[in-house]
Structure 1
């Protein structure tokens, strides 16, 4: 949703490497536009941060090339497949160039980012037929476009206000459906489009943890574990984190703090600290950040629906339920994003279809109930918040 590149619209040939969502090179763009941060947030629903597409697009234009077009990768891929130059409404809402209320490109945002002369793709609905392609043999229709997290929200059947899901992949991403009007506020969460179907736009709140599986990879590179499949074995060798607190801000802190400049921290280490304690502390650090996002929703949540590769870790999921003090239901399909996009494709390919018929019945593979008291959960969260506060104090904005 936020990865961008410049490319030749006539040939589809990339003119630059892709700048992925974790690329922070556009920090300088955000610093220059800091006086307009509040205006941009009110207009687009997004905080000024290089995580989103527009700062990276502006950086490419300033530092790499003025040739071709510069877009998110979906527009490039669809052009290569079908010849159409389009993007879906949900992806457009992740650029920081979309007027969130009008669901149109914003001339004001484009002007602020120095992109007023760009030829941007046409915005279409998420299940709208795009065209056809012969790239895979016989001619087949192309339909069903979405951001990965919004697709997972759909797959988890969070289609009405009041529900939320969290996907645990490279990062962890919490999305909550907010209905047919965007909900802006000061909680630190992002307001964007969930999907646009048959002309009706649904909105969501979105919160990000920059490092989840990428933090697991970091521990793997250090030799602490052999991979994500080791989390339960190594973490299960000890009953708790042994007083170790890990703020895994290895690529900065995202929502609700939005401090991409911060570094992670490990505190409470001793000569008796083992690999198991580090794994436990990592799981608690990821889970604690997700709880902060749930709190930022400022609305009741009975159950958290989860998906993604890291949901295979029973230790992480139990830790999440413990700190959240609510049940956690694990999707039977870890890669829920694929299911959500498939449902959109089915809606676009079949006339008369509905979301209810396009999606299979939802049957969780596992359900985790809290096993610790509310007081203990509050104590663990307080330790985590204390370390975040210390990080913020050491590195003023």
Structure 2
């Protein structure tokens, strides 16, 4: 009898990849391809959904070939994805109607006031668990519909479909224009600002407030459960799970129970705390989201702290500033100095996410003197990820009513040992990395395998988890307090600068192709 495997399709912010796993949760093969990033105007970030589907068509058969397995040996496929990125496409032709609007995009800021008039912001948060912010899919979809009245009319007639990347990929995998399934799961739907957290269905009040026709929305399914089977690029593989990338990371860390948490460091960084079947409302700027739902079981929820820019800041230093030649070089450069030289970097490229939720904030670098070198800037860049995580952890501890004892981490940036030590120093708790750091893809594979009985239960998955490394705090407590106070002042300045009324308009710049990855941040394409 031939050996069986599970595959995961991980569609991230900078690339897509297909990975094959065996019964021990060991990666057997991986195929990965980058896609282009488009920046047509300041604050705008776009992807070509057609290009992403073409890449998926390449990497799925390639991953199977590299593993030396036949399609019949793959018992299930799990799909995980960048979450809030918004795609609209023609039901008949299957073509995207323009580029996808990426989760980092800030073009919808001016729409938020109109939405708040249609529905009280507090009520939106009560129904969705989300603050009224352009980060989520609903405002992005509203922007598209407002921009083109003909698009709204077509959507109302059922000619146009909306989805996040999971819906777009699943529709194409299962036939596209020839009967493709238009579905999503509760984790991705919970990021649209259109789903009610309690009913787990599209909310008519929210649809009216955002002006979204229900006819264009996908059917909401459980996270774990067979949706259908693939017809392309490889036929006959059951799709056993659909799950947003950060929830997939939580699943891959086997944080199945209330009180268990993880933080993923990719393009952005995302801290999730499992709260079990209970919906916990944050009083400190966190998101309430769906963690996962298995079949007909009650949904599990989570508190989430979302940081827009983490590994993305390292790429910016490499590609836009040219201070380093590869992402991996930033650790070496930063380690040549003992501190940041008084320099702080606040990467508010898409405003500030949790716990501040300030879409108007803008990035800045402060504390510059003639003493500061590019090594100090490199260290400040790494520290920015650590301090942003501290901001989120402070909010999470306040909501939970107790302090975390340690933090499980994953994602491409965790290969940076200096960053992990800076993180432990900033948080004043141990930081632990598992043997399998690519938990986004692993979580999707686990969820799909559970759906078809490849793994009998969650306890078997827990047995696969193994610790690879741990970092303990080494910083002087007084210095930690002083450094965090300086960071907090820098964040306040980013807020002030973003609200300046005399900022000159900046010209649009063309969208270049995304540079080829050659460092730690490229290992984790997700982060949304």
**CA distance 1:219–1:101, shift in 2 (3 Å):** same
Report if the CA contact (8 A) 1:343-1:359 is conserved. no
The answer to whether structure 1 residue 225 and structure 2 residue 324 are counterparts is yes
Q: Which of 222, 228, 232 is 1:131 aligned to?
A: 228
SS for the counterpart of 1:175 is: strand
- Distance in 1, matches of 2:85 and 2:349, equals 19
**Corresponding residue of 1:274:** 373
**Corresponding residue of 1:34:** 116
**Corresponding residue of 1:337:** 440
Q: Which of 213, 220, 225 is 2:311 aligned to?
A: 213
SS for the counterpart of 2:215 is: coil
> What does 1:79-228 align with in structure 2 at a 5 Å threshold?
79-82=171-174, 83-199=180-296, 200-221=298-319, 222-228=321-327
SS for the counterpart of 2:337 is: coil
Unaligned runs of 5+ in 2: 1-82, 155-159, 175-179, 501-528
Question: What are the superposed Cα offsets for residues 55-85 of structure 1, whole Å, 9 maximum, x if unpaired?
Answer: 0111111114333122212112111112222
**Corresponding residue of 2:355:** 256
Q: Which of 167, 170, 173 is 1:75 aligned to?
A: 167
Unaligned runs of 5+ in 1: none
Stretches (4+) displaced over 6 A: none
**Corresponding residue of 1:283:** 382
Report if the CA contact (8 A) 2:112-2:139 is conserved. yes
Q: Which of 128, 132, 137 is 1:48 aligned to?
A: 132
Question: What are the superposed Cα offsets for residues 211-250 of structure 1, whole Å, 9 maximum, x if unpaired?
Answer: 1111111111211112220122100111111111221222
Count of aligned pairs: 397
- Distance in 2, matches of 1:8 and 1:355, equals 39
**Corresponding residue of 1:386:** 489
RCO higher in 1 or 2 (8 Å CA, sep ≥ 6)?
2
- Distance in 2, matches of 1:258 and 1:116, equals 27
TM superposition score normalised by structure 1: 0.96
Q: Which of 387, 393, 403 is 1:294 aligned to?
A: 393
SS for the counterpart of 2:293 is: strand
**CA distance 1:395–1:118, shift in 2 (3 Å):** same
Report if the CA contact (8 A) 1:211-1:249 is conserved. yes
Report if the CA contact (8 A) 1:88-1:126 is conserved. yes
Deviation for aligned residue 1:103: 1.0
- Distance in 2, matches of 1:197 and 1:230, equals 42
Question: CA RMSD for the aligned pairs?
Answer: 1.7
Report if the CA contact (8 A) 2:360-2:495 is conserved. no
Deviation for aligned residue 1:332: 2.2
Deviation for aligned residue 1:138: 4.2
TM superposition score normalised by structure 2: 0.73
Deviation for aligned residue 1:394: 4.3
